[in-house]
Amino acid sequence: MKVHLLNVLGPLDPMELDVLLGLLAPSVEVSTGAELPDPADFHILVAGYPTREHLTASPNLQAVIIPFAGPPESTRQLLADFPHVTVHNLHHNTVSTAEMAMALLFAAARFVVPADRRLRAGDWTLRHEPALIMILHGKTALILGYGAVGQHVGRVCQALGMHLLAVRRNPQASGPSDVAAEVHGPERLRELLPQADALIITLPLTEQTRGLIGAEELALLPDGALLVNVGRGPVVDEAALYHGLANGKPAAAGLDVWYVYPETAEDRTHTMPSRLPFHELDNVVMSPHTGGAFGTAYTEHERMVHLAALLNAAAAGQPMPNRIDLAAGY
């Protein structure tokens, strides 16, 4: 079985490639690089942003592996033109993204950022003001998107003593046996929101999820509720979220995903993440989409481990895990 790895998210580190090759079955033949092999006769293409040229180059192409969690919308639209090719992704950053969700949840619940900012100026007054904090123990977390990341978030929330509700496309799908979550379909979302002391969003962005949480949904949250988004920014309506936070519902938010991203390397030092001034709000914890911990030794090692598992399954004639439903978007 022949596999070609395009530069995954940049030039592939030789040490990462060594990890992958050391895990692969002997029958898996790997080529790498930004240029396609000549002749192009690979069976599996690993590429984050494949082009039409990449997808038509090999007459033997059977599958594409997107080497991260959520395929971009443009990639999904392109792959829809190749119905004979199965599409899969990797869940290597599950733990990292879930831990970011929890970091944001804790920071929002305890108003860590404004406390830190004030104390750096010698201001202790927050300690003597009416408490804004939320104690998470005994509260209800509603996880919107109960896949790999959502399930790991649920496991941690349960350890904190929180009651778990979850929404996923297929509520009958199996979940972890050690997590006691009440799992519901998307049609129950509005019924569940009034119970959500913490709304934690791990959804990808699709036509169905864009703007899923708007002003009406935010208004259904109970007073004092928190919102955390580590999925995709536009799952939550931008204006609705800003104005909701400015008016105290939700009471606080932790955001790792946004509405405006830098387009070039030069833009990275001066691009605001929204058209609205979230940065002026004290009840928002802001993070520049670092939940997946891209570039860390742990994450890149895990990427290779998860990629090897998919390729070895294919080499053994077994269905590759993590198949994406292109119509649904995940």
Hey, is 221 helix, strand or coil? coil
Calculate mean pLDDT across residues 6-12: 67
Which single residue is written with the structure tokens 């790895």? 5
DSSP string of 91-137, one letter each residue: -TTHHHHHHHHHHHHHHHHHTHHHHHHHHHTT--GGGGSPP-----T
Q: Sorting pLDDT into bands at 50, 70 and 90, what band is 154?
A: very high
The domain spans of the chain are 2-92+296-315, 94-286
Calculate mean pLDDT across residues 281-305: 90
pLDDT, tens digit (0-9, with 9 covering 90-100), for 90-135: 999 899 999 999 999 999 999 999 999 999 999 999 999 887 889 9
Considering only 37-51, 68-82, 241-255, 308-322, which range has the smallest mean pLDDT? 68-82
Determine whether domain 94-286 maps to CATH 1.20.1250.20: no
Are β-strands 2-5 and 44-46 bridged in parallel, bridged antiparallel, or unpaired?
Answer: parallel
Q: What are phi and psi of 45, to 5 degrees?
A: -110, 130
pLDDT of amino acid 10: 60
CA distance linking residue 63 with residue 85, whole number of Å: 5
Residues with Cβ within 8 Å of 286's Cβ and at least 6 positions away in sequence, in order, are 255, 273, 278, 279
Q: What topology does CATH give the domain 2-92+296-315?
A: Rossmann fold (3.40.50)
Q: Which amino acid is at 297?
A: A
User: At residue 241, does pLDDT exceed 90?
Assistant: yes
Which single residue is written with the structure tokens 């292109």? 326
pLDDT of amino acid 11: 64
pLDDT, tens digit (0-9, with 9 covering 90-100), for 255-286: 999 999 999 999 999 999 999 999 999 999 99
Q: What are phi and psi of 305, to 5 degrees?
A: -60, -45
User: At residue 187, does pLDDT exceed 90?
Assistant: yes
Length of the chain: 330
- Decide if 60 contacts 43 (C-beta within 8 A): yes
CA distance linking residue 162 with residue 141, whole number of Å: 7
Calculate mean pLDDT across residues 40-57: 94
Comparison of pLDDT for 282 and 73, the residue scoring more: 282
Give Cα 315 distance to the centre of its chain.
28
Q: Sorting pLDDT into bands at 50, 70 and 90, what band is 9?
A: low
Compute how many other C-beta atoms are within 10 angstroms of the C-beta atom of residue 169: 18
What stretch of H or E contains 73?
A: helix 73-79
User: At residue 330, does pLDDT exceed 80?
Assistant: no
pLDDT, tens digit (0-9, with 9 covering 90-100), for 23-33: 999 999 999 98
